Chain A
Amino acid sequence: MTEDLMQFKQVSKTYQSGDTRLLILEDLSFTISRGVSIAVTGKSGSGKSTLLNIAGGLDRPTTGSVTFLGDTLGAMNDRELSEFRNRHIGFVFQSHILLDDFSALENVYIPALIGGSKRKVAEHRAVELLERVGLADRMHHRPQKLSGGERQRVAICRALINDPDLIIADEPTGSLDEESSTGIERLLLELVQEEQKTLLLVTHDTQLARQCSTVYLLHNRTMRELA
């Protein structure tokens, strides 16, 4: 029997813009089981990123609740949410967001340091991950010396370093050319499978979405599963 990792219960999110109240998500309820890969597709502005932010503990729902392994994220204070993000979530953003002042290796081990790992231990794990993604000879390079695809691979390693339960990826191939995109898609799915991670992926790329175990379409503030 698969374990429920995260549950969305009647989650709604509204933003206030001046006098206008914008309803982004309405009454979303779904469950993410451990080990699955879920793709969320939808038009730009449909609320996909908002959904990921809520799932990653970066934003809070206006109504409803999100639970992670039985703990309600809304009940956590800032400190607990920070710890939740560090221990349980791995983020991969569209434009990698690496720190230019540090090498690929350092960028990868930052979450481990934040989590309290000793530097040597963190570095060892980071080296392992970078070797696995084929960046053994590029690990001491700064991000500006890496190609777009290489940077995204570094970002994937960073997402995996703390051995998180859930990988949240927001259009990870959105800023890459076709060739790099294919490589990154394959790498992400392979790693998730090998490491037995759960993936929550937002993408416009139907080909990538089709490779996930479940695909949701976010439309008109609500979500439905695609066959």
Chain B
Amino acid sequence: MKRSFGFWLWRNLLLARGESAYARTRLIRSMILVALVMVPLVLALIFMDGMMRGITDKYILLQDGHVQFYEREPLFDDPNEFASIDERIVSGDYVVAGYGIIYSRENTAEVRVKGVDNSYFNDARKKQLSFAGEPLEKQGNLASVTVSETLAKSLNVSLGDRVAFMVVPDSSTAVVRPVLATITACYESGYHELDSSLIFMNRDDALRYFPKEKNAYTEVLVTKNSVDALGEIIASVKAHLGKTVSHATWDVFNFTVYQNFITSRQVILLVFIMILLVASVYVASIAQELVQDSMQALALYKTLGARNGQLSGAFFSAVMVVTLVGMILGVVAGIGIGTQLGVVLAWLGRSGIAGLQYYLLDFPVVISANDLIFICSSMLVISSITVHMTLRRIRRISPLELLQQD
């Protein structure tokens, strides 16, 4: 019934109709400031989500797989047989892994060795790596190793160089001696923290250094969409095998990394909320300024019969529209800049800054709709509370104030 006045007032507040240039500039400034708050939040969100997902993918694809079945012999002769058990399985590779020390003429490094065969580097893994040379290529009688560019740089070696490799003994009585190995390929994963200590070796060679009783297992990858259904997939594999096989999933053997991600994510979202709280104080100040500038008009509207609810409603929705538009601008700008993060990170990667080894400099831009909705709705909820509290002031404006000015 009385919506027409509210709508009229709301529209005039938003258009700053008839107001000074300052009032119009203020509205635009407010929108821009809200947008400026949102841009870094959206960027941080994209960076955080992309980085975490990228690092998780690296760990899963290169280091541990989604599931490990602990069986000393290959579960199947043909790795493709896994796909026939469950179509959600991408691959199942028989791996021999252990720890060793690698020596070059100038340096030494502790490494994790993965003995794999050629089928290990399937399309999913190749997407995460770039190679120089032929991985796992056998040259003469010496073992061949594939090291990362990072490791090669720290050892100061290159393709075709020889290095000494020694297995880290798993008991004090074991007798070990170093062997020579040839670097037949170098890979680059983009995440130096991981690839600086991970080397690949031909599985047959690895079996000579690491006893399969303790070091062999089958590493299974599943499709991206099936990560949440690992339980079902494990059950179907076990049912197919018809025997008891122990297993572990990626979040268990990377428990610390996984927990760190979750904690970091929660802390970052908490920081976001704190930033939004500060931003909402600013949004409330927009409402306060609008009310302050409209004191005489508000008193007149009240004299002419406008209700507090009509006035507060119009002011509230005008401020929230300013916030919403600013927020949308900020989100769009944030996403726009976020999609270019790769360029910035690649540039940073080339800069050789030491601290960047802990960051993934090549990750897919991931925009989490849920997180965006969470941030935007938090902003709206917090702002609406602060604006609502500010607008209680309208109730205290008395029509008599107008007449006292008369």
Contact = CB atoms under 8 A, between A and B. Distances in A.
Interface in B389-406: 399-400, 402-403, 406
Q: How large is the interface on B (under 10, 10 to 19, 20 to 34, 35 or more residues)?
A: 20 to 34
Contacts of A53: 400, 403
Contacts, number: 78
Given A59-B400, A97-B402, A116-B4, A91 B18 contact: no
Given A82-B305, A83-B305, A93-B406, A100 B300 contact: no
Contacts of B18: 100-102, 142
A119 B8 contact: yes
B304 A86 contact: yes
Contacts of A158: 304
A158 B4 CA distance: 17
A170 interface: yes
A111 B17 CA distance: 19
A99 B305 contact: no
Interface stretch (B47-55, B72-80, B239-247, B306-314): B306-314
A95 B403 contact: no
A60 to B, nearest CB: 11
Contacts of B300: 97, 99
A110 B1 contact: no
A118 B305 contact: no
Given A49-B403, A59-B400, A102-B18, A85 B303 contact: yes
A138 B17 CA distance: 19
A140 B17 CA distance: 14
Nearest to B309: A79
B177 interface: no
Looking at B5, B19, B301, B400, which has the most chain A CB atoms within 10 Å of its CB? Answer: B5
A74 interface: no
A58 B403 contact: yes
A118 B400 contact: no
Contact of A58 (B8, B19, B400): B400
Interface residues of A, number: 35
Contacts of B105: none
Contact of B4 (A83, A91, A117): A117
Interface in A116-132: 116-119, 122
Is the contact region of chain B dominated by helix, strand, or loop, or is it mixed?
helix
Contacts of B304: 85-86, 91, 110-111, 114, 158
A194 interface: no
B399 A58 contact: yes
B114 interface: no
Contacts of A115: 2, 305
Interface string B327-363: 0000000000000000000000000000000000000
Nearest to B299: A97
Nearest to B307: A82
B297 interface: yes
Contacts of B203: none
A154 B68 CA distance: 85
B302 interface: yes
B306 A101 contact: no
B3 to A, nearest CB: 8
Contacts of B403: 49, 53, 58, 93, 170
Given A95-B406, A97-B406, A99-B297, A78 B305 contact: no
A173 B301 CA distance: 22
A70 to B, nearest CB: 20
- What 4 A-B pairs have minimum CB-CB distances, sorted nearest first? A86-B305, A101-B18, A113-B5, A116-B1
7 contacts: A59-B400, A85-B304, A97-B300, A114-B2, A114-B301, A116-B3, A158-B304
Interface of A: 49, 53, 56, 58-59, 78-79, 82-87, 91, 93-95, 97, 99-102, 110-111, 113-119, 122, 142, 158, 170
